[in-house]
Amino acid sequence: MNADILKRVVRAIANGQHSDLDRLADKIVEAERRTGHKKLADELEAILKQPRPQRDDQRSIASPDRKLKELPLSRRHGESLATLFTPESLEHHMVLPPAIEERFERIEREYAARDRLGVYGLRPRKTILLYGPPGCGKSLGAKRLAWKTGLPLMKIRFDTLISSYFGESAANLRSIFISAKERSCVLLLDECDFIARSRINTNDIGEASRIVNTLLQLMEDYDAPGLLVATTNVESSLDPALFRRFDDVFLVPLPGSKEIERLLRMALSSVSLVDPIDWAQLADRLSGASAAMVVKTAQDAAKAAVLEGIKVVTQSNLEQAIVELRRNDDSTRGGIKDAG
């Protein structure tokens, strides 16, 4: 087996891409036959033809009326260019400031009323850019929109989208947009700056610039029945021409004190607490933390309580989890203020 096929097999296993593994198995059989290993090729082919039990992921794909057609494949290697998630499998609980909650609800209301809006020649918001610091909930926002609208989520796999061959990355991107047009879905371009970096102040005229131009054109002509959601941590690096292609662009901010307290309470809802818990003090000590880190703090405190055998979470458990979070944060980038 050559190194290229071996790497693709391992990547498919790591990503849980069963359909990719099936195609790669066929390629291995073909390769062995070409190299003269006829007996081995016949044996491998016989194994592939054996009946296989239905996998859980095959049973959990969306119902026939919602199922996407076969996911788009990369031109050269035949690997999936996207991963599909059914609405019921998605996380969707978010704790947001009222103004940001209203932005999400407006998108959801407009999608639900899309036919009624169309009667008046009005178009619902369909392309959304979410930006903000890491861990603030941008990807979760896309999942929430999919869950609220009842649409499957199709997440682009940039590891298979990008190709070093002339024009292939742009062709792969077009295939994804065609697939999204054939059936309603939320198309997620997570960390879209990977393919949408600004063309200003760069001398690159190769594949990177070509894929940005293709993305701009595809978004200019976007008329798929579902939604397109892009996320980025560094909106300043995006190509300026991209912003006017979005119907809505807004910040998903770090949680404030009220949101931190709600996140802590929500994350601890399945365990018992020992009063008194000084929520205000905890929220103050977690000021500057992302939503993901606040939830992690609560979960770490709960795990510590279980491991200690006390089965209830105390103020001390939560404070110790914050100390550990601050220690880890200081060793990387900082971002949680020291209230003590």
Count the neighbouring beta carbons within 10 Å of the beta carbon of residue 168: 19
Closest CA to 227 of 97, 110, 138: 110
The span from the first CA to the last CA of the chain, in angstroms, equals 59
Amino acid at 84: L
| CA separation for the pair 310, 320 (Å, rounded) | 15
| CA separation for the pair 184, 225 (Å, rounded) | 5
For the purposes of burial, counting CB atoms within 10 Å of the CB of 275, is it exposed (0-12), middle (13-18) or buried (19 or more)? exposed
Q: What is the pLDDT along the chain (340 residues), one digit of tens a residue?
A: 565 566 566 555 655 556 566 766 777 877 777 788 888 878 777 777 776 655 544 444 344 334 445 678 876 677 889 999 999 999 999 999 999 999 999 999 999 999 999 999 999 999 999 999 999 999 999 999 999 999 999 999 988 888 767 688 889 999 999 999 988 999 999 999 888 876 665 555 566 778 889 999 999 999 999 999 999 998 888 888 889 999 999 999 999 999 999 999 999 998 999 988 999 999 999 999 999 999 999 999 999 999 988 889 999 999 999 999 888 876 655 455 544 4
- Are 285 and 324 spatial neighbours (Cβ–Cβ below 8 Å)? no
* Tokens coding 126: 């369909």
Torsion 100-106-109-110 (CA) sign: negative
- φ, ψ of residue 28 to 5 degrees: the values are -65, -45
Angle formed at CA 64 by CA 62 and CA 70, multiple of 5 degrees: 75
Give the predicted TM-score (pTM) of the model: 0.75
| CA separation for the pair 247, 107 (Å, rounded) | 10
